[in-house]
Structures are given as C-alpha cells and as structure tokens.
Amino acid sequence: MDRVISLSVGEIALKGKNRKYFENKLISHVKRVLQGLPFGKIYKEQGKIYVEVDEDSLNEVINRVKKIFGIYYISPCIRVDKDMDHIKEAVLKILEDIKDRDKVKTFKVKTNRADKKFPIKSPEFSRKMGAVILKNIEGLNVDVNNPDMYVYIDIKQNVYVYTDKIKAYGGLPVGTNGKGLLLLSGGIDSPVAGFLMAKRGVEISAIHFHSYPFTSERAEEKVKNLAKILSLYTGKMRMYSVNILDIQKEINAKCPEDQMTILSRRFMMRIAEKVARENDIDVLITGESLGQVASQTVESIAVTNASVNIPILRPLIGMDKVHIIDIAKEIETYETSILPYEDCCTLFLPKHPVTRPKLKYIEKSEKNIDVEGLVEKALESLSVYDIE
Ligand code: ATP
Ligand code: MG
C-alpha cells in the first residue's frame, strides 16, 4: 500500500500531439515546487500524473502542487496492485483518513475500469466494494443518487483508491504559451493580471518603474515581494527595474500638466517594449481595467497603444474592482499590495488628468521633449533581479 497523489490535467487543451509536451512541462513544475520535500517517482498512467509521496508531508505537497497551472484536480490516493484483498484494505484505509467522518452518512463507490483486461466489470466491482464497506464500517449507508461521499477506484496498471478531488486552478502549464512582460506596479491590479496570464501558460517576466529617490527603496522592496509571491505560481521570474524620474521631470517642465499620466504611460510602454524585444518577449501585460481610474478610458488605451508596436494584453479589462480584489486575496498578493508605499505615478500627479486624450495633441506635446533620448537614458538605469 503506497501513498501517491494523482493530478488530473485539463482534457480539452491537452488533447492531441501537444499532450506529451504539456505533461512534461507540468512534471518539471512538480519537481520544482517539491524541492526540499521527500517524494518518490513521478509518472504518467492513463491520463493522469502520479507522484509518490510520504504520508507525513502530504498536506504540504498538496499545498505546493495546487499552485501549478494546468492541474484541475488533485487526489490523495492509496495505490495497490490488482489483488482483491489489497484493494479491500486500501478502501478501508482511505475511509479512515476522512476528515469530519461523523458528517458522512452515505457513500457511493465509483469504479473506473481503464484496464479492460481486469475480469470484473465496473458496476459489479463497485457493488462488491460497497458491500465490503457496509460490512466493516458502522454508520455508513449507500446512496446512489446523492451520496455525502464518493469512493473512487481507478483500475489501471495499478489500482488507485481515493475519496477526495481537490480543485486546483486549472489553466495551462507556465511556459507552454510564450513569454510576456508584466508591467508591475505596487498596486492591487497588476499582480492579478500577471497571475491570470501565467494561468494561460505565459512565462512571465516583470518590469517596474520607479522614481528613486522620490520613491523609496522600501517601495521597490514591496514590488519585489509581490514578484516573489507571483513566482510561487510561475516559477523563477526575472524582474527589471527602471528609473523614470528624469522623464517625469522633463514632462513636468515642458508639457501640459494634465497630460502627465498619459505621457508617462507612453514612456513606460516604450521602455517595456525595448526590454521585451531585447529579451525575446512577445507581449506586454498590464493591470488596466476599463473605467477604473481617469487614465483607463478607451481613448487613453488607444493613445497608449499608439506609442508601441508590441501587443499589450490587459486581462482585467472587463473586470470589476471587487472581483479583482477577490482574486488578489485568493492568490495572497492583496496584503502586500495595500501597504502604503508611494508609487512613481503619484509624483507630479495632475489635479485634473485628461480622460479623453487625442493622439495628435499628445504627439504635439512630445515634440517638446527628446523622446528617444529620454528612453535610452532611462534604460541606462536598468537593474535586473532574479526572483525565486
Ligand atoms: P495597479 O493596481 O496595478 O497599480 P492601477 O489601478 O493603479 O493599477 P494605473 O496606475 O493606471 O492603475 O496603472 C495601470 C497599469 O500600468 C498597472 O496595472 C501596471 O500594469 C502599469 N503601471 C503603472 N504604474 C507602474 C509602475 N510604476 N511600474 C510598472 N508598471 C506600472
Ligand atoms: Mg497603481
């Protein structure tokens, strides 16, 4: 009798030729998150991935594996061979593990006979095992329509017995869907945007803009901490950091005050595009959500996009703030995001920012400053951190 966990991978996305590629990526993520914990073989068997684990570290293993995208369900199983007595023992043992046992009054056995050579058909096998449970455990009854609990028995090369299907995030394994550069501020939204794109398989790097010494080192530390939390889901992440103080000063001195936000946003995009191109990254990602603040109007988005040629993904665009906050809490970035350190955008913050910028006026203002020169100059301040 061995302890394993089974990982169910998404059926639709993983069909066809890509399946192997996705599964191997997933396995490499499992190895990464389990570093430092005892675990045995990791292997595939008829549609699921299995990891041999120690009973003592089971909870920790599950907590870590839960953060891997591409996994839909996790089940702690007992694995035995196809011997009837061993299967019976496994069934009785798995019932001992159930939390809140006194709340469970009814059950149903569900057998999945993937190995068609196994002599007993699924319904009959379920009945047999149901009888074993009834005979050995007091206070449990069968309910085939609405049971409190299912006892699953998967008959493959090995036999797997389990009762629990723990929901994970789903999505696609990180690294199976290209690379994106996340514009990471210290706020609530951008970490959530990074999380959602990583969940679709995008490998994430981050870039943060600061105005040191007007913004503090602690503010930068906060952003690194956010990147660290994200990296629990994404794996190690590269973070770039760029000082845009000179740009902001120049805009402040030579452009209309109400255009500060949109002009700095265009500079952020230009710098991010350069960093992306140099590092073989194909898209930018932001935490913008339509109408959330003055600068997040369709007009602003149009004017922002016009500054670069690289696609910009905005996974939060149609989400309400309450929903974004719910996700931030769930992924545990919220508490860090709300720490009150200053952000570069609050510097020179216009009292009445333009909400419907027109590209021709914005471009006219940019004639007053040396855009290319300022971008190049800012890039000289680029620092790179590897976050794990
Ligand atoms: P967030 O909660 O992510 O800070 P926000 O609601 O404050 O977003 P804005 O300040 O308009 O909105 O920023 C919109 C997006 O622009 C952010 O989600 C982020 O992707 C990017 N951004 C803003 N400031 C910075 C910064 N200092 N460094 C990197 N990216 C930034
Ligand atoms: Mg912000």
**Domain boundaries of the chain, sorted by first residue:** 2-169, 179-387
CA distance 187 to 82: 54
CB count in 10 Å sphere of residue 204: 27
Coil, helix or strand for 317?
coil
Which position has the higher pLDDT, 236 or 346?
236
Question: Do 353 and 258 contact (CB within 8 A), yes or no?
Answer: yes
Residues 234, 332 contacting (CB under 8 angstroms): no
Q: Could you tell me if the CB of 334 is within 6 A of ligand 1?
A: no
Q: Which atom of ligand 1 is nearest to the CA of 285?
A: 20
Distance from residue 287's CA to the centre of ligand 2 (Å): 9
pLDDT at 372 over 70: yes
pLDDT winner (highest mean) among 92-96, 210-214, 277-281: 277-281
Residue whose CB lies within 8 A of the most ligand 1 atoms, among 190, 240, 268, 273, for a mutation test: 190
286 lines ligand 1 (CB under 6 A): yes
Among all ligands shown, which has an atom nearest to the Cα of 295?
1
Instruction: Please name which ligand lies nearest the alpha carbon of 222.
Output: 1
Query: Looking at the CA of 240, which ligand is closest?
Result: 1
H/E element, 180: strand 179-183
- Whether residue 187 contacts residue 321, with contact meaning beta carbons closer than 8 Å, is answered with no
Give the distance (Å) from ligand 1 centre to CA of residue 360: 24
Task: Compute, in angstroms, the gap from residue 184 CA to the centroid of ligand 2.
Answer: 9
Output the pLDDT for position 15. 66
Q: Which of 183, 248, 347 gets mutated to test ligand 1 (max ligand atoms within 8 A of its CB)? A: 183
pTM for this model (two decimals): 0.93
Query: Would you say the C-alpha torsion 225, 200, 313, 378 has a positive or negative sign?
Result: positive
CATH of domain 2-169: 3.30.2130.30
CA-nearest residue for atom 24, ligand 1, is 185
Residue nearest to atom 6 of ligand 1 (CA): 189
Q: What is the largest CA-CA distance in the chain?
A: 86
| Binding site membership of 188 for ligand 1 (Cβ less than 6 Å) | yes
Q: Which atom of ligand 1 is nearest to the CA of 287?
A: 18
pLDDT for res 328: 98
DSSP 101: G
Residue 333 beta carbon below 6 angstroms from any ligand 1 atom? no
Angle, nearest 10°, between helix axes 245-254 and 260-278? Answer: 140
Compute the distance between CA of residue 10 and CA of residue 19 in angstroms, rounded to an integer. 10
Q: Does the C-beta of 226 come closer than 6 Å to ligand 1?
A: no
Write down the pLDDT at residue 123: 96
**CATH 3.40.50.620 fits domain 179-387:** yes
Neighbours of 138 (CB within 10 A): 6
Tokens of 47: 């549609």
Give the closest ligand to the alpha carbon of residue 180: 1
Q: Is residue 311 scored above 80 in pLDDT?
A: yes
Q: Is the CB of 190 under 6 A from ligand 1?
A: yes
Which SS3 state, helix, strand or coil, does residue 328 take?
Answer: helix
Give me the pLDDT at residue 283, please: 98
Mean pLDDT of 29-33: 95
Q: What mean pLDDT comes out for the span 172-187?
A: 95
Confirm or reject: Cβ of 295 under 6 Å from ligand 1.
Answer: yes
Q: Are 156 and 43 in contact (CB under 8 A)?
A: no
Assess whether the C-beta atom of 264 lies below 6 angstroms from ligand 1. no
CA-proximal residue: ligand 1, atom 12 (nearest): 288
pLDDT digits (tens, 9 = 90+) for 123-166: 999 999 999 999 999 889 999 999 999 999 999 999 999 999 99
pLDDT at 240: 98
